[in-house]
Structure 1
Amino acid sequence: MSLPVSPTPSVDSLLGPGGALQEALPAYEHRPEQLQMARAVERAFAEHSYLLAEAGTGTGKTLAYLVPALLSGRRVVVSTATKTLQDQVFFKDLPLLREKLGLRFEAAYLKGRGNYLCLHRYASFAQDPQFASRDESRYWSRLKTWAEQTQTGDRGELDLPESFSAWSRLSTTSETCLGTRCPLYESCFVTRMRKRAEAADLLVVNHHLFFADLALRSSGKRTEGVLPWYDAVIFDEAHALEDAASGHFGVGVSNYRLEELSRDAVASLKEDDSRHATLRALSARLRTGSDGLFAQAPRALGLSGHESSVALRAETMGKLSGALQGVRDALGALSSFSAGEREPELAAITRRADELGEQLSFLEKAESVDHVYWAEQRGKGLFLRASPIDVAKELRERMYGALDTVVYTSATLAADSRFDFFARRMGLYGEDGQPVTKVRTLSVPSPFDYPRQAALYLPTHLPDPSAPGFIEAAAEEIVQLCQVTGGRAFVLFTSLRNMVRAYELAAGRLPYQALLQGERPKAQLLESFRDTPSVLFAAHSFWEGVDVPGDALSLVIIDRLPFASPGDPLVAARINQIQQRGEEPFEQYQLPQAALALRQGFGRLIRTQSDKGIVAMLDRRIVTKSYGRVFLDSLPDARRMDDLTELSRWFNGPVRALRSVK
Structure 2
Amino acid sequence: MLNKFVVIDLETTGNTPKKGDRIIQFAAVVIENGKITEQFSSLINPQKPIPVFIEELTGINDEMVKDAPVFTEITEKVQTLLEGAYFVAHNVLFDLSFLQEELLQAGSEGFYGSVLDTVEMARILYPTADSYKLSDLAEKEHLTHDRPHQADSDALVTAELFLILFKRLSLLPQVTLKQLTQLSGGLKSDLQLFLEDFMDTFEKTPVLDSIEIVNGLGLKRISSEKNDENLNKEISKFPESEEEKSSILRNGFVTFKKRAGQFKMMDTVYNSLQQSRHTLIEAGTGVGKSLGYLIPLAYFSKHNNQPIIVSTHTIQLQEQLLNKEIPLLTKIIPFEIKAVLLKGRNQYLNLEKFLQTLLDENDNYDTTLTKMQILVWLTETETGDRDELNLSSGGLLYWNKIKEEPSVLFSKKCWQERDFYQRAKRNAQSADIIITNHSLLLSDIKGDGSILPPSDYVVIDEGHHLEKAASRFFGYSLDYLSARLLISQFGTYEQKQFFYEIEQILSRLPASETKLLHTYELNQLVLDLNYELDEFFKLMAHYAKTKAANKKGTNRIKVRFISTEFGRERKALFHSAERLAFLLKDILSSIKGRLNWLKAEKDSLSIPDSNKLEEIAGFSAELQEFRNILISCFIKDSNEVKWIEMDTRSPQNVTTFLAQPATVAEQLRRKFFQTKKAVILTSATLSVNRSFEFIMREIGLEADSTVQLTIPSPFEYREQVQLLIPDDLPEINSVSLEEYVISITEHIITIAEATKGRLLILFTAYDMLKKTYELIKESGFLNEYVLMAQGISSGSRSRLTRNFQRYEKAILLGTSSFWEGVDIPGEDLSCLVIVRLPFSPPDEPLTEAKCQLTVQQGRNAFYDYSLPEAILRFKQGFGRLIRTETDRGIIIVFDRRIVTTQYGKSFLKSIPQIPVKKGKMLELAEFIQKWL
TM-score by length of 2: 0.64
Aligned partner of 1:642 among 911, 918, 921: 918
Within 1, Cα distance between the matches of 2:691 and 2:685? 11
2:444 corresponding residue in structure 1: 213
**For 1:528, which of 796, 800, 803 is the aligned residue?**
803
1:227-248 Cα distance to aligned partner (Å, 9 max, x none): 2222211111111111111001
Partner of 2:771: 501
Give the corresponding residue for 2:19: none
Q: Secondary structure at the match of 1:583?
A: coil
**Equivalent residue number for residue 660 of structure 1:** none
Q: For residue 551 of structure 1, report the CA deviation from its aligned partner.
A: 0.5
Measure, in 2, the Cα distance between the counterparts of 1:202 and 1:26. Answer: 22
Distance 2:785 2:474 in 1: 45
Question: Where does residue 641 of structure 2 map in the other structure?
Answer: 372
User: 2:868 is matched with which residue?
Assistant: 592
Moved more, 349-358 or 92-101: 349-358
Greater RCO (CA < 8 Å, at least 6 residues apart): 1
Establish whether residue 458 from structure 1 lines up as the match of residue 721 from structure 2. Answer: no
- Give the superposition deviation at 1:574: 0.6
Report the CA distance between 1:407 and its aligned residue.
0.5
1:193 aligns to what? Answer: 424
User: How far, CA to CA, are the matches of 1:346 and 1:14 in structure 2?
Assistant: 60
Letter in 1 for 2:584: L
Q: CA deviation at 1:111?
A: 3.0
* Correspondence 1:338 to 2:591: yes
The 1:168–1:247 alpha-carbon spacing in structure 2 relative to 1, beyond 3 Å, is farther
SS in 2 for 1:376: strand
Distance across 1 between alignment mates of 2:756 and 2:671? 51
What's the RMSD between the two structures over aligned residues?
2.9
The yes-or-no answer on 1:154 pairing with 2:405 is no
Do the aligned residues in 1 keep the contact of 2:258 with 2:714 (CA within 8 Å)? no
**Distance in 1 separating the partners of 2:407 and 2:234:** 49
Cα distance, 1:29 vs structure 2: 2.6
TM-superposition CA deviations, 1:127-176 (whole Å, max 9, x none): 54677xx6635634534534654443222332223575524533558xx6
1:235 aligns with 2:460: yes
Deviations 1:571-621 (A, max 9, x none): 111111112223210000000110111010000001111100011110011
Other-structure match for 1:85: 317
* Alpha-carbon separation, structure 2, partners of 1:620 and 1:521: 32
The corresponding residue for 2:369 is: 139
Give the 3 Å change call, closer, same or farther, for CA 535–129 of structure 1 in structure 2: farther
Q: How many residues align?
A: 634
1:272 deviates by 2.0
Does residue 299 (structure 1) correspond to residue 524 (structure 2)? The answer is: no
1:99 equivalent to 2:337? Answer no
Provide the C-alpha distance between the structure 1 equivalents of 2:351 and 2:295, rounded to a whole number of angstroms.
Answer: 37
| Structure 2 residue ranges without an equivalent (≥5) | 1-232, 491-496, 508-517, 549-553, 600-612
- Distance verdict in 2 for CA 1:484–1:9, change over 3 Å: farther
Is the contact between residue 114 and residue 171 of structure 1 (CA under 8 Å) also seen in structure 2?
no
For the residues of structure 2 that align with 1:15 and 1:350, how far apart are their CA atoms? 61
* Mean Cα deviation higher: 39-48 or 303-312: 303-312
Task: Judge conservation of contact 1:125–1:169 (CA < 8 Å) in 2.
Answer: no
Deviation string, structure 1 residues 618-656 (Cα, Å, up to 9, x no partner): 00111111110111111221111123566556555579x
Q: Quick one: structure 1 residues 140 and 92, their matched pair in 2 at CA, closer, same or farther if it must change by over 3 Å?
A: closer
Distance of 1:172 and 1:235 partners within structure 2 = 28
Q: Amino acid of the residue matched to residue 533 of structure 2?
A: S
**Which residue number corresponds to residue 104 of structure 2?**
none
Whether the aligned pair in 2 keeps the contact of 1:117 and 1:171 (CA below 8 Å) is yes
Q: Structure 1 residues 32 and 645, CA, compared in 2 at 3 Å: closer, same or farther? A: farther
Structure 2: distance between partners of 1:290 and 1:224: 34
Quick one: structure 1 residues 19 and 631, their matched pair in 2 at CA, closer, same or farther if it must change by over 3 Å? Answer: same
Which residue number in structure 1 is paired with residue 688 of structure 2?
A: 415
Tell me the distance in 2 between the aligned counterparts of 1:138 and 1:348.
23
Specify the code of the residue in structure 1 equivalent to 2:707: R
Q: 1:331 to 1:363 in 2, by over 3 A?
A: same
Structure 1 window deviating more from structure 2 (351-360 vs 620-629): it is 351-360
Q: Counterparts of 1:410 and 1:531 in 2: how far apart (Å)?
A: 29
Q: Which has the larger radius of gyration?
A: 2
Measured after TM superposition, the shift of residue 349 of structure 1 is 5.2
Distance (whole Å) between structure 2 residues aligned to residue 307 and residue 567 of structure 1: 14
Change (3 A) 1:639 1:138: farther
Aligned partners of 2:577 and 2:630 also within 8 Å: yes
Aligned partners of 2:750 and 2:922 also within 8 Å: no
User: For 1:200 and 1:43, how far apart are their aligned partners in 2?
Assistant: 22
Q: What does residue 575 of structure 2 align with?
A: 322
For residue 299 of structure 1, report the CA deviation from its aligned partner: 1.1
- Cα deviation, 1:539-559, whole Å, max 9, x if unaligned, reads 111110111110001111010
Deviations 1:457-513 (A, max 9, x none): 112221122312111111111111122222111101001111111111224422321
1:283 to 1:72, Cα distance in 2 relative to 1, 3 A: farther
Give the equivalent residue in structure 2 for 1:203: 434
Conserved 8 A contact 2:477-2:656:
yes
- In the aligned structure 2, how far is the partner of 1:366 from the partner of 1:54? 41
What is the one-letter code of the residue matched to 1:612? R
Whole-Å separation in 2 of the counterparts to 1:124 and 1:334? 27
Q: Which amino acid in 1 is paired with 2:701? A: L
Q: Which amino acid aligns with 1:44?
A: S
Cα gap change, 1:171 to 1:620, in 2 (>3 Å): farther
Mapped partners of 2:437, 2:329: distance in 1? 21
What is the DSSP-based 3-state SS (H/G/I as helix, E as strand, rest coil) of the residue aligned with 1:89?
helix
- Whole-angstrom CA distance in 2 between matches of 1:374 and 1:130: 41
Instruction: Give the match for residue 432 of structure 1.
Output: none
Tell me which of 836, 839, 845 is aligned to 1:560: 836
- Which piece of structure 1 moves more, 94-103 or 36-45? 94-103
Question: Deviation at 1:526?
Answer: 1.4
Displacement, 1:288?
3.5
Q: Tell me the TM-score normalized by structure 1.
A: 0.88
State the AA in 1 paired with 2:916: R
Q: CA deviation at 1:267?
A: 2.8
Which residue does 2:882 correspond to in 1? 606
Amino acid of the structure 1 residue aligned with 2:539 = Q
- Contact 2:370–2:391, Cα closer than 8 Å, also in 1: no
What's the counterpart of residue 382 of structure 1? Answer: 655
Task: Give the C-alpha shift of residue 561 in structure 1.
Answer: 0.3
Tell me the CA shift for residue 125 of structure 1.
4.8
SS of aligned partner of 1:615? strand
Deviates more, 1:105-114 or 1:142-151: 142-151
Q: Do residues 405 (structure 1) and 674 (structure 2) align? A: no
Q: Aligned with 2:773: secondary structure? A: helix
Partner of 2:13: none
Residue 37 of structure 1 pairs with residue 265 of structure 2: yes
Q: CA deviation at 1:260?
A: 4.7
Partner deviation per Cα, 1:400-448 (whole Å, 9 max, x = no partner): 222111001111111111110000001113xxxxx5x821100111101
Match for residue 713 of structure 2?
A: 446
- The aligned residue for residue 21 of structure 1 is 249
Contact 1:292 1:323 in 2 (8 A): yes
How far the C-alpha of 1:177 sits from its partner, in A, is: 4.1
Distance 2:654 2:337 in 1: 44
Structure 2 Cα separation of the partners of residues 458 and 366 of structure 1: 51
User: Matches of 2:409 and 2:719 in 1, distance apart?
Assistant: 59
Aligned to 1:659: none
In terms of mean alpha carbon deviation, does 142-151 or 420-429 score higher?
Answer: 142-151
| 1:332 alignment partner, SS class | helix
> SS at the partner of 1:153?
coil
User: What is the rounded CA distance, in whole Å, between the counterparts of 1:349 and 1:104 in structure 2?
Assistant: 44
What displacement does 1:302 show? 2.7
- Give the secondary-structure state (helix, strand or coil) at the position aligned to 1:384: strand
In 2, Cα distance between equivalents of 1:211 and 1:107? 20
What amino acid does structure 2 have at the position aligned with 1:395?
L
Counterpart of 1:296 in structure 2: which amino acid?
L
Please tell me the residue identity of whatever aligns with 2:300: S
Contact 2:338 2:433 in 1 (8 A): yes
